[in-house]
Amino acid sequence: MKIHLPNSAFLGNIDPFFRSFNNSNPNKLEITANKKWISVHPVVLSMIAALGLKIRKSNIHCNKIEARSKHYFERMGLFKFLGIKSNIKIIEHEPAGRFIPLTQIKNSSKLTKFITDIIPLLHLDPKQAEPIRYIISELVRNVLEHSQSKFGAILSAQYYKKSNTIRIGIVDTGIGIKKSINQSHGAPTDLEAIKLALTPGITGTTRREGGTEYNAGAGLFFIKSIAKVNHDFFIMYSGNSMYKLLKGNKKKHTIRLYADPFKDRHSSDEKLPYWEGTIVGIDISLNATKEFSIFLDLIRETYVKTVRERKRARYRRPKFI
């Protein structure tokens, strides 16, 4: 496999980076990088770290990173994850920063401990922390419950002062959304499977409305909705497809949530290099963070209406002859 760290790859312009990922020869990983400057979304780091976990360390080759921003990768723990000695020294008086370095979470109790111990390091006020911990908890639990990956979830996050945004990347190398959702549904393509996974009330664990005792099929809809209400990017990439929720029009005062993610302003690509597992990236603009409880009113309205309509569509009709 070959992966190139480009000059820039954030959720708005990440498509060329995904397209450039070469997934041939899955037992080897070769990492190259832009020589001058690299500025990338944490989801890129989570992706590389997740690949690194699957491969024997001796089969990972990383070209010497010369870009001036190379310290960022050291600080985020990328080289440690890959088992590569970087020889990059971090200047000690550099501020600790507001970031979550690459972290592997393999079980439920480690997730709870992570949320309790690590989220406070982002130094957010409670109103801002609420959606962040919500997103991380739900996304990582999805990985633990549905991905069947022995490596669990790989996540990282970074606060960007200029845009006052937290960017989060959570990646796994498990069975992917299509296999997971098709345990109970019949999605013909990866993109259709992503669509179902984002639809409220749809879970891979059952076809039954209301879900199982453990799953309702609501988590991803909630998260996509948080991004939509805040006018932020959200991406899901699994198999050969990516769904990207695009930023909404901030001038619009009323926000409507849709059960069908294809009705949201979005882009999609079904011809990406195959990713075995699932990649989720999200930005949360802290300027725009709405009161979480107000957002829940919108969710309630859309969720119940959707389930009701879906049930009605399955009603048996009398045959009048």
Partner 1 sequence: MKNIKLFPVTGSFAENKDIAREIRIKDIISCLDKNEEVTLDFKNVDSATQSFIHALISDIIRNYGIEILDNIFFKNCSETIKKIINIVTDYMQERD
The DSSP bridge partners found for residue 264 are: none
By CB under 8 A, residue 210 contacts partner 1: yes
Q: How far apart are CA 73 and CA 221, in angstroms?
A: 32
115 near partner 1, judged by CB under 8 A:
yes
Does 138 contact partner 1 by CB under 8 A? yes
Does the footprint of partner 1 cover residue 127 (CB under 8 A)? no
Q: Would you say the C-alpha torsion 181, 184, 186, 192 has a positive or negative sign?
A: negative
CB atoms within 10 A of CB 260: 11
Q: Which residues contact 120 (CB under 8 A, 6 or more apart)?
A: 129
In the list 94, 117, 125, 213, the residue contacting partner 1 (rule: CB under 8 A) is: 213
Site for partner 1 in 182-201 (CB under 8 A): 201
Residue length of the chain = 321
Asked whether position 308 contacts partner 1 by CB under 8 A, the answer is yes
The stretch near partner 1 (CB under 8 A) out of 63-71, 126-134, 189-197, 239-247 is 126-134
* Position 116 contacts partner 1 (CB under 8 A): yes
Instruction: Pick from 12, 97, 211, 273 the residue near partner 1 by CB under 8 A.
Output: 211
In the shown chain, the binding pattern of residues 264 to 303 toward partner 1, with x for contact by CB under 8 A and - for none, equals: ----------------------------xx--xx-xx--x
Nearest Cα neighbor of 14 from 267, 258, 219, 216 is 267
Instruction: Give buried/exposed letters for 203-224 (b at 16+ CB in 10 A, else e).
Output: bbbbeeeebeeebbbbbbbbbb
Closer CB to partner 1, 61 or 113, in the complex: 113
Strand partners, 295: none
List the structure tokens of 314: 């399955």
Distance CA 13, CA 283 (A): 13
212 or 267: CB nearest partner 1: 212
Residues forming the site for partner 1 (CB under 8 A): 108-109, 111-112, 115-116, 126, 130, 133-134, 137-138, 141, 201, 208-211, 213-216, 218-219, 222, 292-293, 296-297, 299-300, 303-304, 307-308, 311
